[in-house]
Chains A and B, each alone.
Chain A
């Protein structure tokens, strides 16, 4: 078995319960997981199965009721709030289904934010944001506020923001959940790009097209992992076909 010391991200006996007595909800009920560096893992399952909760626990956005989370050999679940903040700032990037962009900031200013919070100079933050917006194909939309962007564009801004500080792992929670087909393909392209750059990615989705881009697919039901499939072709093999399907549609 792989040890936590050699993996990028690991979880052992991860549990998250809400409520108590008869109202007890076992959102996550004993999850073990090891993710290798550069690996893309997709977690799929029906609504309410606990997949988003797992992602929140792994990314340090929430604390488990029980169990351990390790990131690059460091125990995440025992970190203080200050250490967690640092983790989110330096090691982790999160992409949300609802984008969570700051409404009054332009695309560029939103992407600058992680660098500014990390204490980087405004000049560095601007240069980095410009570079990332170019990478996600939004150089010409950099000065637009979120309300002037389409859903796909907003999600691309969110992805650019998630990788602004060169994180170790990018977590994506239903990144295409609010997008139409063409916007979904734009986001798929980006994830392919991130995968190719050997970034470790954990994506929660119920979109099979997104899942197909992963190296490994984990199925989840009622708070536990019920199946795991290693996808032989990885992302690149299937993605071309998906683009064709999307474009034809």
Chain B
């Protein structure tokens, strides 16, 4: 620990409030399968955990690295496609290697992280809006790659992956609760890991790079390397979500990482709040609720479907509260309890390129 806090001081009221809410949500999630119906457990909450993990990788890069990345969906898809190619045995597209699922997961995470490092090294010298565009280009190229290269996927994608999971998860269709708990544990671990990493020397240097790249550079820090490593770490988190996704969904195709999905993940992160990790799961939960319950509504006056509503909500969030729902929460907490925030500035409001 480099930031030695004075021991045994009373925690601020804000921290107490947040920790109590967090703990309550965690307890609720842990006992949820006992009283919630299958639809909520399998469709809504499991999906919330895994989409939240992917969004957390985006928010991590944005909040601590000052980089809004649109490549997270592509990286998550890469991990999913690697697992799909390695574990399936015939009867679907792709390589059908039929390897051990655990080995496939480890390899998928390692390869995706390595790919993230390569992307990161390429994009590290671009900042702000250039970075956003470059990562969007990565994302769309990834989508076309899996769409065109029939050797590894092709247009229809890989299916039946949920039959090849590691032993303790078993067949996902028969034991949905096991996947639910795995997703919950991974989500919690990712959350704690990110909170840990931001306190490490690397995390602190990264936040320095976010705020004052020139000063950090003159202090002897390798700015592009820090950005690239942060991007690789983000790719690692995204790969976890990708692995969970293919188990949960059973199949993956190029549309999974298409432009729509890329934008959707950004919408999740922005609705939750680009400045705080907690926003990832909050945004995912809200987005998935809308997705599931507002599907069939015809929009009055202008016509159109669910996507028009999502777009309007997204527009409203960006215009009204750029730091998302967590930003609204922060404002409520600080007016009620006083004191300043947790030190994570809202990412959108004050980020300026160059």
Q: Are A and B physically bound partners?
A: no
